[in-house]
Every structure is written in C-alpha cells, then in structure tokens.
Amino acid sequence: MTEEGLARSEAVARVEAILDAVESETMPVPVREVWVYGDVVLGVDPVPRVNVYLTKDLLFKDAPEREAEFVESHGIEGVGKTVRAAWADEHPEYLRANSNGHAAPEKCLAAHLLDDDEPVHLEVCNTGFERNVTQRLEGAKARDDYTQLLDPRAAMLWAGNGEESRRSGEALSKLRENEFVLPTLSAALAMLGLEDDEADRAAERLREYQRDRRGATVRGDVV
C-alpha cells in the first residue's frame, strides 16, 4: 500500500479475499451479491480506493431469545434479530452498534471484512446494485448533492442463494486482466439521464468527495 492507494494486483487480491470470506465464513447477515465498482474496475494502478458493494438479505427467524444475553454482555441490542447470534458467538470482537445501541449489520460486516487503515469502502444495502444506483441518483438530484452517488461502472463478482453460491469466473478474469471497457464517470451518469453539464458537475463533485476519504469506510442503506 502506498499514499496513492493499493497496487492493482494487491487491490484485486484484496477483493478476492473478501469473496473468500463471504463464501466460506459465517457473516453477520446473509449476503446475496458482491459487486465492485469505480477505480478497481477501471484498471487504474495504483487503485486509490477499492469500492465493494454487498447486497444483504434481511435476517428472519434467527435467535431473538438471545438478545438479552448480548445486551448484558456487550451492551448491544438486536443480536439474534438484526445480526446472527451464531456470528456474534464466533466473532464477538466484530460486534458494532449504531448510535442507538442496536447491532448495525453494515458496521459488523465492515469490522469482519476490512482493516481499519486500508483504502477500502464498503456499501451495504438490502437491494441490488443497479437499482440502488438509480435510487441514489434520484436522491442526489432532489437534494443537489452528488457526494453520495454510486459510480455505475461496476461488475458483479459473486451471487449466493441459501446454500448455493456462484463466483463469476468471467468477471473475475476481466478484473485480473484489466479487460473491462467502461465510459468516463460523466458519460456513465449521462447515460442514466443527467444532462451533460450536470453529469460533468456531478462527476467532479463525487471525485472531490472521494479524494478526501481515508482508511476503511462503510455506508449502510435501506431502499
């Protein structure tokens, strides 16, 4: 890792390590899809920030009767309801709460999957990447705030459903070999419906916002 980010080979290896963990380890919530987007897909070297998007499922019928146990031991509500009790048993050091003291799935995922000082951003949402790109764009236009846009230039690397999971060998191969051919950010935003001038402004605002970020970061979203 350098001040400019991760060497491209290191960034790809980091993405694959996240895939390995999602595939083989108990996660705090069920994960349905893993995407990468932005710099790591574009072939830049070094990669300033590795952006990873996880689509999660809501947790149902876990172990709500164990919530009181974790309130007493960790002061955190919602274990067995919003995050898996079995995961908390296995990884109590990764338990994280929101400002209200409830277990926060996105923060728990970030604690499990990321190191604090690495230039990796984790997006966690209950809906798929493509739908959320549109939702976030609509919200950004309404607020005239483009800092929270999702860069639409992306690739889905993994999909899981219950006990079955599948890596996209083709997408991973393209990522390793730098074979994705993608438009500029402003062009991609224009394809989503922004006028050219607005797309240029939005792209520059998002780049400025991302340049100021340091270390591992996470954002949770519900659509």
Question: CB 93: neighbour CB atoms within 10 A?
Answer: 7
At residue 211, the pLDDT reads 86
The pLDDT of residue 67 is 95
Q: What is the pLDDT of residue 160?
A: 86
Per-residue confidence of the chain (223 residues) as pLDDT tens digits? 667 889 999 999 999 999 999 999 999 999 999 999 999 999 899 999 999 999 999 888 799 999 999 999 999 999 999 999 999 999 999 999 999 999 999 999 999 999 999 999 999 999 999 999 999 999 999 999 999 899 999 999 999 875 677 999 999 999 999 999 999 999 999 999 999 999 999 999 999 998 888 899 999 988 7
Distance CA 63, CA 75 (A): 17
Residue 53 · residue 157 · CB < 8 Å: no
Looking at the DSSP assignment, which residues form a beta bridge with residue 31?
56
Q: How far apart are CA 48 and CA 5, in angstroms?
A: 4
Instruction: Give the burial class of 84: count Cβ atoms within 10 A of its Cβ; 0-12 exposed, 13-18 middle, 19 or more buried.
Output: buried
Residue 124 is predicted with a pLDDT of 97
Residues 149/136, Cβ–Cβ less than 8 Å: yes
Provide the whole-model pTM: 0.94
pLDDT at 7: 94
